[in-house]
Amino acid sequence: MSTAVSTDKQAAQTPAIPAPTPVPTSTLVNRLWSYCELLRHSGVSTLDYVEQLTYLLFLKMADERAKRPAKFRRNAPEAPLVPEGRDWTSLTTRSAEALLDHYEFILKDLGQSGGTMLGEVFTKASNKIHEPAILERLIKDLIDPHTWTTENQDLKGDAYEGLLQRGAEDRKTGAGQYFTPRPLIDAMVDCVQPKIGETITDPACGTGGFLIAAHAHIATHYEDELYGDEGRKLQTGSITGYELVRETARLALMNMLLHGIGTSEAKPLITIQDSLAKPIHKHYDIVLANPPFGVGSVTGEAYTARTDFWAPTTNKQLNFVQHIYNLLKTNGRGALVLPDNVLFEGGAGTAIRRNLLDLCNVHTLLRLPTGIFYANGVKANVLFFDKTGQRSGGRPGTRQLWVYDFRTDQRFTLKQRQLRREHLDDFVAAYHSGGSDYSSRKPSERFRAFDYDELIARDKVNLDLTVLQSASSSDTVFASPDVIAQEIVDELETALAQFTAVARALKTGVRTDDDSTTEGEEVQER
């Protein structure tokens, strides 16, 4: 540490350069991703290069945030995210070994601010770029000359999110487990419509996509109220998340700070823990989530602390359904991504679906197509429900479940035909077509209602419902050969993952009656 500090007078001074001109976010993301090649060649593993770049990008964007015009600061005056002497400027004025020493000092020093947002971002952070020339080139030649904010200097973190998305697309890195497609997140938030003053959480938040989208929705629709008490609560705990993996929580905290959620000295808004392993201690108005797929987590003795669950199971998604129900306040709103097996699995699944229909208004189910997640072949849905309790006379909380079939005859891939927000416009319009009265919604070819009596009478309370039959006429428009080929690859990878899971179960001699998810499904984003 002393070596880094003593280099202040020796720091090489760089000449002043004109203010950089902002360029499109997509260009910045492509440029930043190309730097990964530089890190690969310098010995940084594929599991580390995104994290190493995000340390540097965070410091640069924090610097731009501090220098942006006052009209874009909602809570002016704002304290800088990073203290002077540990900031981006202190890196750009050093060279060679002095730069390397100072960068390592910054990572260590900032990580010592325990119990704060900034401290959690840099806790146990370490530099894996050990060649001074590589580090200097990254900082001075590749990152510093460019502006990483949006064109109007109101930082949105688009380039940062783009880097995370590119990391997810590079499936060899495993980053796909952290990323839910932003168009789906935005559509879910547009349906739930969070309001200022409401408390919001994600119990498996990954890199914080749902929390950031909810904050953006509130900032857009309640801009005039952001300066009041409720607006200030957005920075101190009305939007929070939980994440099991420390490295992922670090990315979420960076992302939130860069989007103006929380402050450097505030208590961390992300709690690092296994959400399922502990009883509920706080309730929320809104829960948005894409829980991890697979089995495990809460098992055995851990259930002694979860007497609030309706039925014990080793299935993570079914446990998260129960957990999210308990997280919600009365009249709270939940929206969560779930794999198909949650809709039809027997045993504990039957009991959980029956309780959910009775104690909540389970009003909307969106059937999603394959090809939109980074785990190939995943068949998923979005379930929307309100925690209403039973109605008067002991009648169930659910009257009708409206199902929107966005799966049949819909084809997407991660490359040739990516999901965009406008693809979900019709669903969001259908969701709101009845206003606050779900029973007044307008049915369509892809959107229809199923009454409670019909649902509860189905075998195992099966909610795997069909709305639209696949087209079979001679004028059917078939997908292009490359799309069909990718779909075949997706199906083969899904089948291979299923066989791998079976082989593992046979090898260990472990069998769970309700384990119908696959290893391939488990790497979907939280």
* CA triple 47-49-50, angle to 5 deg: 90
Asked if 227 and 351 count as a contact pair (C-beta separation under 8 A), the reply is no
Contacts 24+ apart (CB under 8 A), 30-38: 31/142, 31/146, 32/57, 32/143, 32/159, 32/162, 32/163, 33/163, 33/166, 35/138, 35/142, 35/143, 38/134, 38/137, 38/138, 38/142
SS3 286: strand
Backbone angles phi, psi at 104, to 5 degrees: -65, -35
What is the pLDDT tens value at each position of the chain, 526 positions in all?
444 443 444 444 444 444 445 556 667 667 767 777 677 666 666 556 777 888 898 899 888 888 876 655 554 446 788 999 999 999 999 999 999 999 999 999 999 877 899 999 999 898 988 899 989 999 998 889 887 766 443 445 555 566 666 665 554 444 445 568 889 999 999 999 999 999 999 999 988 889 999 999 998 998 877 777 777 777 777 999 999 888 888 888 988 888 888 888 888 999 998 999 888 889 999 999 999 875 554 444 455 457 889 998 888 899 999 999 999 999 999 999 999 999 999 999 999 999 999 999 999 999 999 888 766 677 899 999 999 988 888 899 999 999 999 999 888 887 778 889 999 999 999 999 999 899 999 999 999 999 999 999 999 999 999 898 775 443 344 555 666 666 666 556 556 655 655 565 555 554 433 433 333 333 343 4
**447 φ, ψ (degrees, to nearest 5):** -130, 115
- Six-digit token pair at 68? 């942006």
How many Å is the maximal CA-CA distance in the chain?
A: 79
Distance of alpha carbon 355 from alpha carbon 349, whole angstroms: 10
Domain ranges of the chain: 2-162, 175-461
Q: Give 306-347 as a DSSP string.
A: -TT-SS--SBHHHHHHHHHHHHEEEEEEEEEEEETHHHH--T
Helix 246-258 crosses helix 209-221 at what angle (to 10 degrees)? 20
- Kindly report the pTM of this predicted structure: 0.79
Write down the pLDDT at residue 506: 58
Tell me the CA distances in angstroms from 113 to 106, 167, 255, 381, one per residue in order: 12, 28, 18, 41
Pairing assessment for the beta strands 328-339 and 380-386 based on DSSP bridges: antiparallel
Is 175-461 the same fold as 2-162? no
| Contact of 487 with 411, CB cutoff 8 Å | yes
pLDDT, position 424: 97
Taken in order 426, 453, 339, 248, is the CA torsion positive or negative? positive
Q: What is the CATH number of domain 2-162?
A: 1.20.1260.30
175-461 topology per CATH: Rossmann fold (3.40.50)
CB distance 248 to 206 below 8 Å:
yes
Does residue 83 have a cis bond before it (omega within 30 degrees)? no
DSSP assignment of 390-405 equals --GGG--S-SEEEEEE
Within 10 angstroms of residue 437's Cβ, the number of other Cβ atoms is 7
Give CA separation, 146 vs 94, 212, 258, in Å.
Answer: 18, 24, 17
